[in-house]
Amino acid sequence: MSESLFADASKRLEQALKYANISEDAIERLKYPKTSLTVSIPVRMDNGSLRIFKGYRVRYDDTRGPGKGGVRYHPSVSLDEVQSLAFWMTFKCAAVNLPFGGAKGGVTVNPKELSRLELERLSRGYIDAIADFIGPDIDIPAPDVYTNPMIMGWYMDQYSIIHRQLTPAVVTGKPLSLGGSLGRDTATAAGAFYVIETLMPKFDQPAQNTTVAIQGFGNAGAHLATLLYNAGYKIVAVSDSKGGVYAKKGLDIPSIRRFKDTQKGLQAIYCEDSVCNVVEHEVLSNEDLLGLDVDLLIPAALENQITETNVHNIKAKYIFEVANGPTTSAADKILAEKGIYVFPDILVNAGGVTVSYFEWVQNRSGLYWTLEEVNQRLKQKMVEETLKIWQIKQEFSINLRTAAYVHALNRLGEALSAKGTRDYYLGS
């Protein structure tokens, strides 16, 4: 991970500050993370050897509430990456008006190389190391890349053992049987779908005439593909970490999902009951997928996928960022010059943290909601904040990313100023 990732992430604020109502004191506070933690996690491997893994947790800002953010397990995890993700989470929570600050965590590991027992030891060891750094009123972890409800259950259990009391609200994204929320597993995809459905009519882009390519067929990407497919969009390409498939006539998403669940790979197939037939398709790389001539391009994998190097290959009309930070600031400028609309991650993928908030509320109240209630509240939140950000875009004639940051900055600035600023203390 480049050391400049955080510096690049910070550039998102430059344009937004011209339009935001925020004090110099607040701007200064937002330049730096509140606190960062780096830990070593010793894990006894199945063969008896001892390995040490590096772990991180960054709480960027907690002015509006406890830190909130996922934990990812990935070989490229670094402090710079985690700090950048915590920065984005700060603005994401403010953009959709959640009473949270921004945080993020990670462990530098390839989880695919670990046995299930080793994965559990690593996960419990991570919580042992950061237990004093998190809590229901301090910082609340959640799933991210290569972490899942089972791992969140281990987190909650280990934290509860350490503190000698059951504490379900310390972690979100847990299994339902351990206090998880209905709808959390599909929340990121559902939130993105509501944003797409809210904005596409403004461009006279009906679903049945819209082609879609999705980079990243993990939890968020696969669920979003299903939602779009069921709504009539034509999904022509999907990819995972090993590569992708493309069919101009469109892909049968339910069949592809069933195939991946059983075979752990992608194949363009059509299944009717138990009979599956391979359909004509092209095999393509993740890079090739980004350059397809489609209406909607949805990066749903990792950050820094669209850069100065490949941005000139982008042909899509609209980009919806389901991944965190998939587009660099330099690429953003070129996309704007090409007339390509980019709908930013801090809005598009905010469904996950929104339902994480719902789970936290349910854990603290002891009152649990139905799936219908969760989805209704999520849709209301996503549509409401999307329309507010669209209004800011129209008012100042700026792009959607800048408008989203303006929206978030205004809320953060108000909270930070409530604690006192230079103007207040000088009586001006």
Cα distances from 55 to residues 98, 110, 358, in angstroms, run 27, 13, 27
Cα distances from 400 to residues 159, 196, 343, 396, in angstroms, run 39, 13, 6, 11
Cα distances from 264 to residues 112, 258, 281, 291, in angstroms, run 12, 10, 18, 25
Vertex 265: Cα angle to 264 and 271 (nearest 5): 95
Pairwise CA distance, residues 38 & 57, whole Å: 7
Domains of the chain: 5-178 (3.40.50.10860), 187-348 (3.40.50.720)
pLDDT in tens, the chain (428 residues): 344 677 777 777 778 888 888 888 888 888 889 999 999 999 999 999 999 999 999 999 999 999 999 999 999 999 999 999 999 899 999 999 999 999 999 999 999 999 999 999 999 999 999 999 999 999 999 999 899 999 999 999 999 999 999 999 999 999 999 999 999 989 999 999 999 999 999 999 999 999 999 998 888 999 999 999 999 999 999 988 787 888 888 888 888 888 777 665 565 655 555 545 555 667 788 888 999 999 999 999 888 899 999 999 999 999 999 998 899 888 999 999 999 999 999 999 999 999 999 999 999 999 999 999 999 999 999 999 999 999 999 999 999 999 999 999 999 988 888 777 777 677 75
Q: Counting Cβ atoms within 10 Å, is residue 35 exposed (0-12), middle (13-18) or buried (19+)? A: middle
Single out the residue of 156, 157, 182 nearest to residue 169, CA to CA: 156
Partnered with residue 239 across adjacent β-strands are 215, 244
Pairwise CA distance, residues 428 & 422, whole Å: 9
Q: Which residues are catalytic?
A: 104
Report the pLDDT value the prediction gives residue 43, as an integer from 0 to 100.
98
Place of tokens 């007339």: 339
Q: And the tokens for 161?
A: 């053992």
Single out the residue of 115, 86, 112, 82 nearest to residue 100, CA to CA: 86
Helix H or strand E segment including 364: helix 351-365
The whole-model pTM stands at 0.89
* Ordered alpha helix ranges (H), 177-318: 187-199, 219-230, 253-263, 286-290
Helix H or strand E segment including 244: strand 243-246
Helix 79-95, helix 351-365: angle, nearest 10:
80
Pairwise CA distance, residues 349 & 220, whole Å: 9
85: number of Cβ within 10 Å: 31
Q: Where are the beta strands (DSSP E) in 13-113?
A: 35-44, 50-61, 67-74, 101-108
Got the DSSP string for 287-334? HHHHT---SEEEE-S-S--B-TTTGGG---SEEE--SSS-B-HHHHHH
Report the pLDDT value the prediction gives residue 264, as an integer from 0 to 100.
59
Pairwise CA distance, residues 293 & 80, whole Å: 34
Report the pLDDT value the prediction gives residue 226, as an integer from 0 to 100.
95
Report the pLDDT value the prediction gives residue 2, as an integer from 0 to 100.
44
Pairwise CA distance, residues 363 & 320, whole Å: 32
Cα torsion through 6, 12, 13, 16, rounded to 10: -170
List of residues 6+ apart from 5 with CB closer than 8 A: 80, 81, 84, 303, 304, 325
Q: Are 96 and 381 in contact (CB under 8 A)?
A: yes
Pairwise CA distance, residues 239 & 132, whole Å: 39
Pairwise CA distance, residues 286 & 291, whole Å: 9
Q: Are 90 and 102 in contact (CB under 8 A)?
A: yes
Q: Counting Cβ atoms within 10 Å, is residue 39 exposed (0-12), middle (13-18) or buried (19+)? A: middle
Bridge-based pairing of strands 234-240 and 211-215 is parallel
Residue 42 half-sphere exposure, CB side, CA atoms within 13 Å? 4
Pairwise CA distance, residues 87 & 67, whole Å: 11
